[in-house]
């Protein structure tokens, strides 16, 4: 059974406005897909927290783990950084260069690296330019936790779209050694 409801002029006007507003609301933009395995890793140049200049294209011939993380000195980011620190000898022995990238500045990175004795460079990405090149979403000023493994040929060898902080260093080692 169909019911007919009569709307007064004011009720009809409000209903029409709500319908129009819903029709005009854009859908939230989907982030671009992460870069695919086999894609040339985008080049960038920056200065790490330790003062060293890092240009990805000059690292060709080396395996590079570029891990994006949300924020210095937070629980998950500290676990991930310390996991890499604790496996640093194995990573070095395998010839893997590791760079942590977040949107904090080098003052924050220096404090974080010093507090936890991190032996690898942390890269500032205050404007999210590196994250943008790698299609890493930055939400509320924080990069999502994503890692790219770049092979010796400068191409992306493996992508972790969702990283579990503890055990990630072992995952990096395993994929770097995989043929």
Which residues carry out catalysis? 77
| Dihedrals phi, psi of 35, to nearest 5 degrees | -65, 140
Cα atoms in the Cβ-side hemisphere of radius 13 Å centred on 87: 21
- DSSP-assigned letter for residue 109: H
What is the H or E stretch that residue 177 is in?
helix 168-177
36 Cβ neighbours under 8 A, 6+ residues apart: 156, 159
The distance from CA 7 to its chain's CA centroid, rounded to whole angstroms, is 51
């Amino acid at each position: 059974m169909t019911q007919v409801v009569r709307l007064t002029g004011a009720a009809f006007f409000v209903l029409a406005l709500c319908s129009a507003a819903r029709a005009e609301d854009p859908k939230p933009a989907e982030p671009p897909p992460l870069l695919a395995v086999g894609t040339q890793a985008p080049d960038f140049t920056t200065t790490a927290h330790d003062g060293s200049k890092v240009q990805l294209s000059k690292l060709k011939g080396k395996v590079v783990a570029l891990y994006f993380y949300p924020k210095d000195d937070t629980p998950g980011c500290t676990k991930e950084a310390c996991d890499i620190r604790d496996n640093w000898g194995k990573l070095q022995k395998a010839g893997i260069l590791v760079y942590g990238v977040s949107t904090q500045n080098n003052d924050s990175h220096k404090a974080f690296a010093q507090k936890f004795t991190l032996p690898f460079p942390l890269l500032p990405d205050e404007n999210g330019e590196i994250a943008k090149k790698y299609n890493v979403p930055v939400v509320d000023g924080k990069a999502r936790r994503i890692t790219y493994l770049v092979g010796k040929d400068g191409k992306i060898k493996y992508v972790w779209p969702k990283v579990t902080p503890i055990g990630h260093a072992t995952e990096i080692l395993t994929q770097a050694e995989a043929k």
